[in-house]
Structure 1
Amino acid sequence: MINGQIRDKEVRVIGEDGEQLGIMSSREAMKLAQEAELDLVKIAPKAQPPVCKIIDYGKYRYELARKEKEAKKKQKTVEVKEVRLSPNIETNDLNTKVNNAKKFISKGNKVKVTLRFRGREMAHMQQSKHILDDFAKLLEDVAVVEKPAKLEGRSMSMVLTEKR
């Protein structure tokens, strides 16, 4: 809320250079703001009495937007990358997939390892669990199992994350 929108009887006023001007009526605070050719902005509406500051509103909004943008830059989004395997995978193919997973983990992403079953492979689902265990074992120096292997329909999957 700014200027005329502030309807409180009394407000605590902070000057343009940050010093406390004390508690006064909102009309008096508005006069002070107009004399300084600035805006009266309600900063803490929940306080008793509400806190208002005499500042340039456009500049204040710009500063808030800049702080928000800066905070957004510092955020790190974690993606989940997927590595798909099949039950009859050969050793060299498995090593290639392990190297890909290492790259993903080193970049700070999570890796979902999925073992897909098709046709007759469905009959030997439990015997193929060792492939996922081997995969986790090969990555145990850089990754830790976040979600252990779990059967979901035609696939078995687990999630690996970076070791802390």
Structure 2
Amino acid sequence: MIMNEKIKASEVLLTGVNGEDLGIMSTKEALKIAKELQVDLVCQSLASSPPPCQLVSRTDFKQQVIKESAKNRKVEKGPKLKEIRLSAYIEDHDYDTKKGQAERILTSGDAVQLTVRLEKKESQEAKKLVEQLIRELTHCGKQDKGIQVSGKQVIAVMLPH
């Protein structure tokens, strides 16, 4: 990111602190305005002529850079798989809590594995519970594969949209 006196162009296309268009002006004049407002002049791209620049407060700029780097790291790593465990005979309030957790995880960009541990002969109830959860979570995610029913647990994986 090129800032302040490091901008070598003679003219810049300036955007104000709040996003207002200030037009094309000399770099010296843009730097003068930046010093008056106690902000930085940041060049956004060198691809065009005159280069687009923006007046940005230093704290906002640092926060923006931190957010972008965190977002890039998350994209590089890919989505995490987070497990939510349930029982086949779950109370309504607990069900709502687990559903809310799954929604939060899916909207943050991570995948959810819904696991229902089985005790006796409750595989049908567990499968119905998982199917109901998947139906209610379709607005924020999609099912990866089918519902897997093994001897001791029922598992379904949901991916974010």
TM-score (norm 2): 0.51
Q: For residue 28 of structure 1, what is the aligned residue in structure 2?
A: none
* Deviation readout 1:25-69 (Å, 9 max, x if unpaired): xxxxxxxxxxxxxxxxxxxxxxxxxxxxxxxxxxxxxxxxxxxxx
Partner of 2:55: none
Structure 2 CA distance for aligned equivalents of residues 72 and 111 of structure 1: 20
Q: Distance in 2 between matches of 1:84 and 1:74?
A: 26
Give me the CA root mean square deviation: 1.9
Structure 2 unaligned spans of 5+: 1-71
2:100 corresponds to? 99
- The DSSP-based 3-state class of the residue aligned with 1:123 is coil
Q: Aligned to 1:153, what secondary structure does the other structure show?
A: coil
Write out per-residue CA displacement over residues 97-130 of structure 1, whole angstroms, 9 at most, x where no aligned residue: 0110111111111000001012xxx213123311
User: Cα–Cα, structure 1 residues 117 and 106, in superposed 2: closer, same or farther, change >3 Å?
Assistant: same
Question: Residue 114 of structure 1 corresponds to which residue in structure 2?
Answer: 115
Residue of structure 2 in register with 1:157 after alignment:
155
Whole-Å separation in 2 of the counterparts to 1:80 and 1:73? 13
Q: CA deviation at 1:90?
A: 1.2
Could you say what secondary structure the match of 1:104 adopts?
helix
CA distance in 2, matches of 1:74, 1:141: 22
In structure 2, the residue corresponding to 1:75 is in which secondary structure? helix
Equivalent residues of 2:106, 2:159 under 8 A apart: yes
Q: Aligned equivalents of 1:151 and 1:90: distance in 2? A: 22
Partner residue in 2 for 1:138: 136
Aligned counterparts of 1:142 and 1:73: Cα–Cα separation in 2: 19
Q: Deviations over 1:136-161 (max 9, x none)?
A: 11111111111221112300000001
SS for the counterpart of 2:77 is coil
- Distance verdict in 2 for CA 1:142–1:84, change over 3 Å: same
Q: 1:123 to 1:73 in 2, by over 3 A?
A: closer
TM-score (norm 1): 0.50
2:149 partner SS: strand
The structure having more radius of gyration, on CA atoms, is 1
Query: Aligned partners of 1:73 and 1:114: how far apart in 2?
Result: 25
Match of 2:112, as an amino acid?
A: V
- Where do 5+ consecutive residues of structure 1 fail to align? 1-70
* Alpha-carbon distance in 1 for matches of 2:109, 2:144: 14
